[in-house]
Structure 1
Amino acid sequence: MTLSTQYLNGYQVTLCADVGGDPKAPTVVFLHGGGQTRHSWSKAARSLVDQGFHCLALDLRGHGESEWSGNGDYSTNVFIADLKAVVATLHQPPVLVGASLGGATSLLAVGESNQPLAKALVLVDVVPRMDPEGIRHIRDFMRGTPQGFATLDDAADAVAAYIPGRPRPSSPQGLLKNLRLKDDGRYYWHWDPQFQNDNSRTSMGELFTRMENAARCVHIPTLLVRGKQSDVVSLEGAQQLLELIPHAQYVDVEGAGHMVAGDRNDVFNQAIEGFLRDL
């Protein structure tokens, strides 16, 4: 099943999404991590559409083909506001599937909402207590090439250095989904540079505390999918989430790091499909 690209109203911005399936069917909304795009979920979304689900894979504001914040605001609250704006257009509360930034946004939106926002929650390698060094690794990568790349191969080299355990694709052409060729003839990552320079964001400690408090208020079915080789979510971090959300299910994905769906898409799909069948 193919997905169609649509443009949706977020909070004062226009968001791009790949959408498929019957809008009246059970709905799954996918939110990617910082620095990624909706394409992270392509295989998972197509598989679920084939099984009768309605799926929306969003580009978060400032990423991919979604609009950038005019005032450079990429605080946690505006991502939550974007998600709520999209959910408000749906026929029923969806299942939220969020990785990293998208997972934190989903957790906070659900845990802090006074009204039922979602039918279920899938957190992909994100917990309230994440490893600060792992987060710095991500931010260092995102900030590491402000001058862009002369060629796609140069970009592929940067990705290979960042994720040394992932097999390198035979062609770098797939990176065109994540890069933009600008007038200077160089390739730049698809995100707004202000995303990494936004001073309105809370500190990691404040965010972690807020996520803990939200997790205590999550009463819908929840699944944590952790990359077993993740440098962001430790076993201790996963266990703490399970203490905060005692009814949550937990899957460890062998051979996957922080980018679980990209590292082991087959196992990731099996995990969420099994979870969704049991709802």
Structure 2
Amino acid sequence: MARRLCARWHVIAVDLRGHGDSDWSPEGNYGEGVLVRDLLLLLDALAIRRATIIAHSLGANIAMRFAAVFPERMNRLVSIEGLLASPDRLVLVDNTPMRTRLRTWLEETERIRMRVPRHFRSMDEATARMKERNPHLAGERLHHLTHHAVRLGDDGFYRWKVDPMIRKRPPDMSNDALNDLWRALTCPILLLYGAESWASNPGMDGRLGLFANARLRVIEEAGHWVHHDRFEETMREIDAFLSETATVPDQG
């Protein structure tokens, strides 16, 4: 996506903490507030006053929170499957006592910390696992993603770059509070979803109505990794959305 976009735009491809080649948090601190702050500090460090952000999954959720808190820093936002848990799931979490949620998080993070990370004897093994988890991937894109998703350890085994602690973030704000954030978003937003994804479709679960300036596009034959499963269709939607702005985003 970055290669395609940089033909027209100044592109910065970001690895969130604990992802890709960014360092892991020594404390396993991947709370949403911390990740929003990381994004703020990055833009400040690069002297970017306003940006257009394209992000996926957790990254998209963080970008949406950032856009709600700092609307003056945003031009446009492409959120690919960024709302994550369904409203029903969020209500269920809200109805669980905080003491229970906190204890569960502490116990689960300790189990993850003690667990031996998954490893692979070869790139072929890692590629097979990537294919198993993402059946729409194939060809060069499958190998490209696998290559950039693993690192070779001193023991000769390949392991995923992502910190497993990311899967268990601390208890978050309530569903009502999140909805207030989404209502506060003012920049134009493109919500992209895969028709075969596990993620709840905001056009069907009622959340699309929370946004003042958002449109929804559902990509057929795509799962949670919409942009990898149906790259060309995704890029057509993004190109059309970005072309609606008259000027290149201000880079400072």
TM-score under structure 2 normalisation? Answer: 0.77
1:212 matched to 2:169: no
Q: Is the 8 A contact 1:128 1:212 kept in 2?
A: no
Q: Distance in 2 between matches of 1:56 and 1:210?
A: 30
Amino acid at match of 2:11: C
1:184 match: 155
What SS is found at the alignment partner of 1:268? Answer: helix
2:249 match: none
- Which residue, out of 158, 162, 168, partners 2:133? 162
Amino acid at match of 1:93: R
Amino acid at match of 2:64: L
Change in CA separation of 1:208 and 1:152 when aligned onto 2, cut-off 3 Å:
farther
- Which residue, out of 140, 151, 154, partners 2:122? 151
Q: Distance in 1 between matches of 2:187 and 2:141?
A: 42
Which structure is richer in relative contact order (CA contacts within 8 A, separation 6 or more)?
2
1:84 matched to 2:33: no
Q: Is the 8 A contact 1:126 1:233 kept in 2?
A: no
Name whichever of 251-260 and 149-158 sits farther off.
149-158
Between Structure 1 and Structure 2, the one with more strand by share is 1
5+ long unaligned stretches in structure 2 = 90-111, 246-252
Q: Distance in 1 between matches of 2:117 and 2:162?
A: 11
**Alignment length (residue pairs):** 219
TM-score under structure 1 normalisation? Answer: 0.70
Q: Distance in 2 between matches of 1:178 and 1:207?
A: 32
Change in CA separation of 1:228 and 1:173 when aligned onto 2, cut-off 3 Å:
closer
Q: Is the 8 A contact 2:202 2:208 kept in 1?
A: no
Superposed displacement of residue 127, structure 1: 2.1
Superposed displacement of residue 209, structure 1: 4.1
Residue deviations 1:132-166, cap 9 Å, x none? Answer: 6xxxxxxxxxx798231122222222222212343
Between Structure 1 and Structure 2, the one with more helix by share is 2
Q: Distance in 2 between matches of 1:174 and 1:112?
A: 32
Change in CA separation of 1:169 and 1:272 when aligned onto 2, cut-off 3 Å:
closer
Q: Is the 8 A contact 2:49 2:73 kept in 1?
A: no
Q: Distance in 2 between matches of 1:219 and 1:192?
A: 33
Q: Percent identity?
A: 26
Alpha carbon RMSD of aligned pairs, Å? 2.6
Residue deviations 1:105-139, cap 9 Å, x none? Answer: 011111133x612111111012265386xxxxxxx
